[in-house]
């Protein structure tokens, strides 16, 4: 998705992403989104019944994009270690390329008890499950062995979230390689292996 798109639906979603990320849900007006997208208010309603639907579409769109990118990247790698590295790289690249997405998700999550859907939660569990399944595959392939796949996946992906949000930019070229390498082999460089 790009703000330079000429397809109205994409222009609307791009404009809405910026607005929902910076304002509270009730402060965002369909009219402002129309102005931001450079389309008439009527055009928005041809694509989205109401603000709730537009908001849900926005998260769904980002979520579908992330999962598609991750799945393709994972398929292109052979080793589980490299598959983990590209999951991290793909996620960081998407969030860096769509700087409003993180806040959009944060807002959606804070609002999730309301009538507004929170489609990102499914994506989150999909990525956690993908990482867990790679840990199990790694054991089958005798590549490496992770004692507690679920907890370890949470720790790796929670760490990834913190890096996306608070990590130094520009990103180091070897960042994801280093994270996965340290995750598997230890962040400490002089201790003997734990028993």
Q: Which residues in this chain contact a copy of itself in the complex, by CB under 8 A?
A: 22-24, 26, 103, 106-107, 109-111, 113-114, 128, 142, 144-148, 150-152, 154-163, 165-168, 175, 178-179, 181-191, 193-194
- Pick between residue 33 and residue 160 the one whose CB is nearest to a copy of itself: 160
Q: How many CA atoms lie within 13 A of 98 on its CB side?
A: 26
Q: Tell me if the bond preceding 170 is cis, omega within 30° of 0.
A: yes
CA 116 to CA 56: how far, in whole Å? 7
> Least distance to a copy of itself from the beta carbon of 62, Å?
17
- Pick between residue 41 and residue 182 the one whose CB is nearest to a copy of itself: 182
> Least distance to a copy of itself from the beta carbon of 113, Å?
6
Handedness of CA 46, 4, 119, 136 (dihedral sign): positive
- Pick between residue 29 and residue 106 the one whose CB is nearest to a copy of itself: 106
**Beta-carbon count within 10 A of 30 CB:** 16
Residue position matching structure tokens 């999962």: 67
> Least distance to a copy of itself from the beta carbon of 74, Å?
19
> Least distance to a copy of itself from the beta carbon of 161, Å?
5
- Pick between residue 70 and residue 84 the one whose CB is nearest to a copy of itself: 84
- Pick between residue 6 and residue 168 the one whose CB is nearest to a copy of itself: 168
> Least distance to a copy of itself from the beta carbon of 20, Å?
11
CA 73 to CA 68: how far, in whole Å? 9
CA 129 to CA 7: how far, in whole Å? 34
Handedness of CA 176, 22, 59, 153 (dihedral sign): positive
């Amino acid at each position: 998705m790009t703000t330079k798109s000429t397809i109205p639906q994409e222009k609307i979603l791009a404009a809405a992403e910026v607005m929902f990320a910076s304002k509270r849900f009730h402060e965002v007006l369909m009219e402002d989104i129309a102005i931001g997208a450079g389309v008439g208010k009527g055009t928005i309603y041809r694509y989205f019944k109401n603000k709730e639907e537009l908001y849900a579409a926005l998260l769904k769109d980002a979520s579908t994009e992330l999962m598609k990118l991750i799945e393709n990247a994972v398929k292109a790698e052979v080793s589980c270690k490299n598959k983990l590295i590209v999951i991290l790289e793909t996620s960081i690249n998407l969030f860096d390329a769509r700087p409003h997405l993180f806040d959009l998700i944060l807002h959606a999550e804070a609002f999730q008890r309301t009538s507004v859907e929170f489609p990102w939660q499914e994506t989150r569990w999909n990525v956690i499950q993908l990482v867990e399944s790679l840990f199990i595959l790694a054991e089958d392939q005798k590549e490496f062995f992770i004692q507690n796949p679920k907890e370890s996946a949470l720790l790796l992906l929670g760490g990834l979230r913190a890096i996306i949000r608070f990590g130094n930019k520009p990103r180091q070229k070897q960042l994801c390689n280093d994270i996965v390498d340290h995750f598997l082999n230890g962040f400490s460089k002089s201790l003997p292996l734990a028993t």
